[in-house]
With several copies, the nearest count.
Chain A
Amino acid sequence: MDAADLYRINDLLDNDVELREKIKEQVTELDKKARTMVGLLNKVHSTPSDAIPALLDFLNPVLLSCQETIIALAMIIPKNQFWRWKDMWSNSLRTAVFAAAFIQYLSDRTLVSLNQVAKILGIKEESKDRLTLPAEDYLHGLISLVNELSRLAVNAVTLGNFDEPIRISIFVKDLFAGFSMLNLKNDTLRRRFDSLKYDIRKIEEVVYDVSLRKLSPAINTQ
């Protein structure tokens, strides 16, 4: 190995370091936005249902502003190197997916699809060799959603909303059935999926309490 070779290798290594710095900058930005959304979504647990729309009005602009950061991020990543760097932002991205899915659930009780959430977050088809939304990250976001919905089932009742747990129960069961169709390997995703059963039990117990005491008229529609 001669000096020229060494020099070249060193150059390559230096480039990577620089690139990592630049990516980190954008990720920090994305992370801040994701955290802000989580902070605002926390208020859901103490907000009566009629005030939820007002809360969503605060959230939507933050969610939209993620686009800009994610587009900037996509422009930094070299072609085809998405998988090389993705660990740097996957946590933040999963949080953003969670926020988007929670916002959509609160808006119309539907499940946001992978394509929808990608679009919302500014992840574009044309730059998919630089930045894409892997199924894995989308699924992680949905699991976080279930975690949060089981808490919401409890708190909705405290706020006098006896129908919410029932809606949550139906939504979550459908989602769980979907997950059950997948052949997950023995990784974090499977472990987190397996732990969903605790959330489901909790939701079921809330529905039980409500139905045992005949507190919701909706119970029979389940």
Chain B
Amino acid sequence: MTSTASSSPTPAIATKESVAKLFDYFRADLDDHNDRRERLIKASRDVTNLSKKTIFLLHRIMMEDPEANEQVLAKRAAHRGHEKLREVQNIYATLMEELEGDRFWRYQRQVSPGLQEYIEALSFAYYLEHGSLITFDGVQQTLLNPQGYFPLTVSDYLLGLSDLTGELMRFAISGISRRGGQKKATEVCAFVRGYFERFTPYVRDLSKKQSVTSQSLEKIEDVAYAIFVRSSEYDIPPEMLDDIVAQSISS
């Protein structure tokens, strides 16, 4: 086979200069994007930390002063919680511009984790105060600022609420050694169940988190069970049991 070389090389190949010019444009574009992405990740991490700290704070307040009235504690906790979450709301206000137009969906994956943690903390405070579930609009309201609403997706709302179950489980378990903790645990159990049963059939998106939620629910059920079994052995109302134990420890 002899060389069947084609016509001589075309003179004007993509010149170095034109490629360089082309890529120069990308560089600016990519750098801009990466920087924004980094800023949003950092902000989201800050939001996550603040929200986690808020959740810790709520647990802490609910456990301090064993003799205080449950209602009063809850009000105090919710108040302090909302106060702390205002820092998060301020962060979101500053992010409005970063997420204008199509940018919100572009950076949604970076923003979501923080937002879900915020919803978890917010709904926990709300539950302590009202004993019920904050609505989608309720969450949206807290994200209003002079430039408008910070965008909220249904999926973040639902996933944030899923995580709430875990905190309620912790709350129910650590609360039972308190006076009236037994009643509280039973309430939490009923609440989580109601919420849980309502969602399961409809929302497919939750499947990943669902097993965690149902584990939390089972843990709460176990607590309610243990309380009930214990108090069934003695034919005394739970409140009286509390009194007897308190007397015994202090003596």
Whether the complex brings A and B within 8 Å at their CB atoms is answered yes
Q: Could you tell me which A residues sit within 8 Å of B by CB distance?
A: 1-2, 5-6, 8-10, 12-13, 17, 21, 35-36, 38-39, 42-43, 45-46, 48-50, 80-84, 108-111, 113-114, 129, 135, 139, 151, 154-155, 157-164, 166-167, 169-171, 173-175, 177-185, 194, 197-198, 200-201, 204-219, 221
Q: CA–CA, A217 to B19, complex, Å?
A: 26
Known: A1-B198, A154-B225, A170-B249. Is A13-B105 also a contact (CB below 8 A)?
no
* B144 CB–A CB distance under 8 Å: no
Tell me if B24 and A181 are in contact (CB < 8 A).
yes
B2 and A160 form a contact (CB under 8 A):
yes
Residues of B within 8 A of A6 (CB): 198, 202
Interface assignment of B101: CB less than 8 Å from any CB of chain A: yes
Task: Please determine whether B12 and A110 come into contact, CB atoms closer than 8 angstroms.
Answer: yes
- A35→B199 CA distance, assembly (Å): 11
Closest Cβ–Cβ distance, residue A15 to chain B (whole Å): 10
Q: Which single residue of chain A is at the shortest CB-CB distance from B161? A: A1
Q: Is the interface of B mostly helix, strand, loop or mixed?
A: helix
A68 CA to B34 CA, complexed, in Å: 24
Q: Can you pick out 23 interface pairs between chain A and chain B where the beta carbons lie within 8 Å of each other?
A: A5-B135, A10-B202, A17-B49, A50-B6, A83-B107, A84-B108, A129-B101, A135-B30, A151-B218, A157-B228, A157-B229, A159-B4, A160-B1, A167-B9, A167-B13, A170-B249, A174-B15, A182-B26, A183-B56, A201-B177, A208-B241, A215-B3, A219-B234
What's the nearest-Cβ distance from chain A to residue B97, in Å?
15
Q: Considering the complex, give the chain B residue whose CB is closest to the CB of A185.
A: B34
Contact A114 B34 (CB under 8 A): no
Is B29 among interface residues, defined by CB-CB distance under 8 A?
A: yes
CB–CB A111/B221 < 8 A? no
A166-B9, A169-B249, A177-B63 as given contacts; A184 in contact with B30, CB under 8 Å: yes
- Pair A211/B136 contact, Cβ less than 8 Å: no
Do A183 and B197 form a contact, CB below 8 Å, given A80-B101, A163-B6, A209-B229?
no
